[in-house]
Amino acid sequence: MKDYYAVLGVSRDASEAEIKKAYRKLARELHPDVAGAEGEERFKEVAAAYDVLGHADKRAQYDRGVDPRAASGGAGGPQGFGFEDIFETFFGGGAGPFGGQQRGPASRVQRGGDTLVHTEVTLEEAVFGVTREIQVDLADVCTTCHGSCCAPGTQPQGCRQCNGTGSVQRVARSLLGQVMTTAPCPTCGGYGSTIETPCGECSGQGRTHSRHTVSVDIPAGVETGTRIRMTGQGDAGIAGGQKGDLYIEIRERQHAVFERRGDDLHCNLEVPMTAAALGTVLTVETFDGPQEVDVRPGTHAGSTVRLKGLGVGRLQRAGRGDLHVHLDVVTPTDLTDEQAELLRQLAGLRGEEAPEARLAPLGGGVFSRLRDAFKGH
């Protein structure tokens, strides 16, 4: 039994689409008009293989070890070789020799294209969301011809070459000899009618362009690259076709103080050395107004205070991220003589007049604390 899968060059678990694609590729390469008479036998093999594998019931029989073509005597004709697929492959699905139905005229109406515009938002707008008015150039249905593409008082005229069918017949050579096929009419472009007097306002397109002001609701949590889709608010289609979609792509502006990492915000807060040693409560300005930051006694440089729920609004779920305040302990460098003396007295009280150099393990030092702070630990 002939291996039809090998003939088409596909695996035994190939999908219907893969089999059809392989068949069409080989049929084009091996057609006698392309490969000459020497490719005719190979072309017949490919057509026979597709006649079996291209039909679910025949393929099932073949997979069970029965060649349906051998069982039927290898009969040809439209049932045997799948001629409808052959004509679709070479002639675009036009009328076949067995009375296939011709296509009707094409429609001038086309859906409008999608439009992409960019808008910039501040970090605060990304935190809470904002309604933005943007300017965009869009196509509208022509107000003069109302999408008909014709000058007022006129209408499309039936094409004389194709008699309104949108297609013309031509003779092509195939395995069956000469067959009549169809092709789009070159006069009307396949529309079946011609526009003798196009609309002067839209040049026969049925649409014009103008600038629009569009109100966009930008939700909390957007970031650079986020796209907001506004269905049916893009360009109007040709000849009165439906509108495409409008996409708004977000670009987020960097903030001078706060840095965004996902849904969280981060900032640095300078803390005097004495306040870090003794502890204090500092007030910082956030997007939610003044907030208190509790600096515990003995706070080290690189410590982090987390203010829950003061981060960025989450785009696809409820709630907000957090605000992480990184504490930067500032050591004074411009001490007066009196201040320096007081520090020397403090050092004496703590037995630190001549401190010894002591190496600390990396696991508990300032660098590890900085590392853990940035990792959110």
Question: pLDDT by residue (tens digit) across 208-219?
Answer: 999 999 999 999
Q: Which residue has the tokens 């007295």?
A: 345
Residue 287 has a pLDDT of 95
pLDDT > 90: what percent of the chain? 46
CA 115 remoteness from chain centre = 13
Rounded to the nearest integer, the mean pLDDT of the chain is 83
pLDDT level of residue 132 (50, 70, 90 thresholds):
very high
Q: Can you give the pLDDT at residue 56? A: 82
Contact at 8 Å (CB) between 222 and 188?
A: no
Q: Report the pLDDT value the prediction gives residue 91, as an integer from 0 to 100.
A: 47
CB atoms within 10 A of CB 313: 18
Q: Which helix (H) or strand (E) holds 260?
A: strand 259-261
- pLDDT for res 51: 87
Annotated binding site: 142, 145, 159, 162, 185, 188, 199, 202
pLDDT at 32: 64
- The pLDDT value recorded for residue 368 is 52
Q: How far apart are CA 87 and CA 93, in angstroms?
A: 6
Domain ranges, ordered by start, for the chain = 4-91, 259-375
**One-letter identity of residue 127:** V
More confident residue, 376 or 212: 212
Would you place residue 59 in the very low, low, confident or very high pLDDT band (cuts 50, 70, 90)? confident
Residue scoring higher pLDDT (94 or 172): 172
Residue 58 and residue 145 in contact, taking contact as beta carbons nearer than 8 Å: no
Architecture of domain 4-91: Orthogonal Bundle (1.10)
As annotated, the binding site for Zn(2+) includes 142, 145, 159, 162, 185, 188, 199, 202
pLDDT band of residue 253 (cuts 50, 70, 90) is very high
Q: Tell me, what's the pLDDT at 37? A: 66
State the distance between the two ends of the chain, measured CA to CA, in whole angstroms. Answer: 69
Which single residue is written with the structure tokens 């785009």?
Answer: 315
How many CB atoms within 10 Å of residue 366?
A: 13
Give the model's pLDDT for residue 33.
Answer: 62
Distance CA 184, CA 172 (A): 15
- Would you place residue 93 in the very low, low, confident or very high pLDDT band (cuts 50, 70, 90)? very low
Angle between helices 16-30 and 83-91 (to 10 degrees): 70
Whether 262 shows a pLDDT value over 50: the answer reads yes
Q: SS in 3 state form for 45-89? A: HHHHHHHHHCCHHHHHHHHCCCCHHHHCCCCCHHHHHCHHHHHHH
Copy the structure tokens of residue 34.
Answer: 């392309």
pLDDT at 245 over 50: yes
As a whole number of angstroms, the distance between CA 317 and CA 236 comes to 34
Length of the chain: 377
Give the C-alpha separation, 373 to 84, whole Å.
Answer: 69
pLDDT score, position 92: 47
> Averaged over 265-271, what is the pLDDT?
95
Show Cβ contacts of residue 327 under 8 Å, excluding neighbours closer than 6 positions: 268, 269, 271, 276, 295, 299, 301, 302, 303, 304, 305
What is the number of other CB atoms lying within 10 angstroms of the CB of residue 216? 18
Side chain identity at residue 97, one-letter code: P
Where residue 14 falls among pLDDT bands split at 50, 70, 90?
confident
Q: Which of 30-34, 49-53, 269-273 has the lowest mean pLDDT?
A: 30-34
User: What distance in Å separates the CA atoms of residue 73 and residue 176, rounded to the nearest whole number?
Assistant: 20
The pLDDT of residue 189 is: 87
Q: Tell me the HSE value of 224 on the side-chain side, using a 13 A CA sphere.
A: 8
Class of domain 259-375: mainly beta
Tokens representing residue 85 in the block: 């697929």
350 pLDDT higher than 90: no
For residues 77-89, give the mean pLDDT. Answer: 45
The predicted pLDDT at position 61 comes to 80
**Which pLDDT score, from 0 to 100, does residue 146 have?**
93
